[in-house]
Amino acid sequence: MAFTAPVISLSADRLSGAVGATADPVVTVTVSQHGAAPGDLSVAAVGSSDTFVAGAGDVTVGGRGATRRISVRARGVGYCDLTLRVTGLGGRMSATTLHYAASGPVRHAADTRYFTHACDASAAVDVGDGHVVVADDETNVLRLYPRGASGGPVRTWDFSAALGVGKEVDIEGAARAGDVIHWTGSMSNAKDGKLRADRSSLFTTTVRGFGASTELDFEDSYGGLRDDLIAWDERNGGELGFAAGAAKGRPPKRIDGFNVEGFEFAPGNTGTAYLGFRAPLVPAKPGGGALLVPVTNADVLAAGGGPAEFGERIVLDLGGLSIRDLRKNSADQYLIVAGSWAADDNTDPYALYSWDGVPGHAPVRVMDLPTCDPGGWECVVDVPDLEVPGARVQLITDSGSADWYGDGTEAKDLPHPELKKTRAVWFTVTE
């Protein structure tokens, strides 16, 4: 009997891994041959274009059915092509190529996961059952990931059309109240100082389901928050310098700039929310305090109403750092990611603070965050009970400027989404 050549196909022809990683992404390979049962077919890696990165012996094929799982152990940083071959009845063979890329080792590797298909993570909201929705400040796409595994999103939502915007909203903050998630843009100018009206958007989505079955429905948006903030500061004598910081031609990431990066509700409240500023510091000089402005009618804005109303400003001592994210739990325990106001290379200090959300109460420094690995700390997924010993929190980085594969290409400029990624790391925050 003459047998036809078997067929082999990949769920994706590109895969990203990391040296020393745990739970790296996988791809699936589907095989078939006319007249053969799946168990009659064998799959193996038979070659590599660069064994410094990964060799054929570093490829593991799992399963015996029509669909197999392919995982790769990275040896070094860079790119290689791995040849996968299926052998069927009659000794007939076919092959395909998996384009593989590996990034370098990182600290806390066992507690690190890599979320792929995006690299500029900017806000995150837990949706239960081990899943998180992550925003990206370079697009208006929200992505759903399993928190415990590396790899691509389970599903995505692009709300550009619903928002009626032509460019990215620059999503930087998110807060959940019941089944409604509020998402806010940075309110800032572009990095070259150009005005970006779309970044003034505050919009809401309703959550249906949970975990891997989560669905998000667009509800409404409000586009006047930036103007409302500037007008409020002007009515109060311009003490915070919002008008100058947001002026045309002014880059946002200055100590006296205008840039929102955090959003969370006040204690016991779903009407008042805190806007956390990356810039300005108060006063706008080294060692200044981190600024929060309470929006007292966030629920009205969520329904498309306005203008915004504000409470008394709150200034927190974060050791000269500003707010990159803040998140609270149902017990009104807050965690704040503190980082530099500057547009730096992410080597400036980062720290994690706890707070009770009460104006006038001082935040407490929990830990310094490591800065030796790619990416700047940007998102708190959720806040554990900070009174329980051994409590752990998952933080996510903005890794858009990371040179993951040692070729001088920033992650945001990589041409293939499978190779873009951001780091998510668990830290123990209580003894």
319-358, pLDDT tens digit by residue? 999 999 999 999 999 999 999 999 776 778 999 999 999 9
- pTM of this prediction? 0.96
Backbone torsions φ then ψ of 40, nearest 5 degrees:
-80, -10
What pLDDT is recorded for position 368? Answer: 97
Q: Is 50 helix (H, G, I), strand (E, B) or coil?
A: coil
What pLDDT is recorded for position 263? Answer: 98
CA distances from 151 to 16, 113, 233, 373, 423 (A): 8, 8, 44, 19, 11
Which top CATH class is 7-103? mainly beta
Instruction: Please provide the average confidence, as pLDDT, over all residues in the chain.
Output: 96
Parallel, antiparallel or unpaired: strands 78-87 and 42-48: antiparallel
Instruction: Flag whether pLDDT at 285 surpasses 80.
Output: yes
Percent of the chain with pLDDT over 90: 96
Cβ 10 vs Cβ 67: under 8 Å: no
What pLDDT is recorded for position 343? Answer: 74
What pLDDT is recorded for position 1? Answer: 63
Q: What is the mean pLDDT of residues 38-46?
A: 96
At position 61, the amino acid (one-letter code) is V
Confidence of residue 166 (pLDDT cuts 50, 70, 90): confident
Parallel, antiparallel or unpaired: strands 7-10 and 27-32: antiparallel
| CATH architecture, range 109-428 | 6 Propeller (2.120)
Instruction: Flag whether pLDDT at 145 surpasses 90.
Output: yes
Which strands, in side-by-side order, build the sheet including 259-265? 259-265, 273-279, 290-295, 314-316
At position 167, the amino acid (one-letter code) is K
Domain borders along the chain are: 7-103, 109-428
